[in-house]
Amino acid sequence: MNRAGALLLGLWSALAYGLLYAPVVVTVLFSFNAPRGRFNLVWQGFTLENWRHPFQDGALTAAFLTSLGLAVAAALLAVLLGGLMALALSRARVRGGRWIELLLALPLTNPEIVLATALLTLFVGLDLPRGPLTLLLSHSLFCLSYAALTLKARLAGFDPTLELAAQDLGAPPLEAFRRVTLPLLAPGLLAAMLLSFSLSFDDYVVSSFTAGETLTLPLYLAGAFQREISPQIQVLSTLVLLVSALVLVLASPPRRSPR
């Protein structure tokens, strides 16, 4: 490739990445803004005040913590159930296993609004009051397929004779699972956990149908934009961004040195 071509390609890439990260940059930038009035939308001047009191906005902090707890609980539940499904599908010869797998992948293509209305109908029909419980049930439900499929992919590369070897060396089945299968499955478990966490953390559609009076972060923010946008929103967003970037760096496998 000639130099002009390389330059053009570089510019094009820069533009693409610029667009990709522009909103992120704006968010980070405005977390340092000192707004006048209730809407942190116009750049006024630099301040560290917002970062000094990240949890000053009480309602925002409450919604943030609700979402955090919900996402962790939903991720744990989804990974537990999805992991068991993945184990069953990859180990035992389940009758009609292929159909079960298809049923597992189907929710991925299902529009979220369909799931949301179905869940609402179900909860109303069961006379289940909408709140934290229904939120947890519905969030772990839509995370389940992702978790199960992620773990199934991880299990596909798992040599089942390793577990037999552990038993042969004197470890009872459960101990063999704990000492061999679980550590080898750990990267898959972490990936499924992170995926489920972020799916639940930023979910709006399903939450809006099943939350009742409970406010998750996305629900709170959607409402807040009509009343007030505090700079703490940007501060918390930046924090979340930092945490997820950190997790991504930690979770990416280290480059193996060639033998």
User: Shortest Cβ distance from residue 146 to other proteins (Å)?
Assistant: 25
Among 231, 180, 203, 40, CA closest to 119: 203
Closer by beta carbon to other proteins, 68 or else 171:
171
Closer by beta carbon to other proteins, 79 or else 176:
176
Closer by beta carbon to other proteins, 185 or else 199:
185
Q: What angle do helix axes 182-201 and 58-90 make, rounded to 10 degrees?
A: 140
- Distance of alpha carbon 10 from the chain centroid: 32
User: Shortest Cβ distance from residue 36 to other proteins (Å)?
Assistant: 57
Q: What is the 3-state secondary structure of 62-85?
A: HHHHHHHHHHHHHHHHHHHHHHHH
Binding site for other proteins (CB under 8 A): 159, 161-162, 164-173, 175-176, 179-180, 183-184, 259
Closer by beta carbon to other proteins, 47 or else 167:
167
User: Shortest Cβ distance from residue 131 to other proteins (Å)?
Assistant: 42
Q: Contact 190/163 with Cβ under 8 angstroms?
A: no
Q: Contact 204/219 with Cβ under 8 angstroms?
A: yes
Cα separation, 184 vs 200, whole angstroms? 26
User: Shortest Cβ distance from residue 208 to other proteins (Å)?
Assistant: 43
